[in-house]
Amino acid sequence: MAINLRRIRHAKKITQEELAESAGLSARYVGAIERADVSASVSVLGRIAEALHVDPADLIHRSAPKAPAGSL
């Protein structure tokens, strides 16, 4: 979740502080989630997703590993 959260937040050009305010969380807590220092509860996940205007699954979806260049 930490990687997806950071990637989505950066893509939307939102600071941790802005996200925290929109989600009703502290900026320190958002930073801890992004660093994977803490795990977010389902309710916090929903609040973050709503603040980012994304589906909660977008935050927890595991990306498939990329194939090495030149392999097919």
Q: pLDDT tens for residues 3-55?
A: 999 999 999 999 999 999 999 999 999 999 999 999 999 999 999 999 999 99
Q: What is the largest CA-CA distance in the chain?
A: 46
Side chain identity, residue 28: R
Residues 51, 44 contacting (CB under 8 angstroms): no
Report which of residues 1 and 29 the model is more confident about.
29
For the entire predicted model, the pTM comes to 0.82
SS3 at position 29: helix
Task: Give which of 66, 69, 25 is closest to 49, Cα–Cα.
Answer: 25
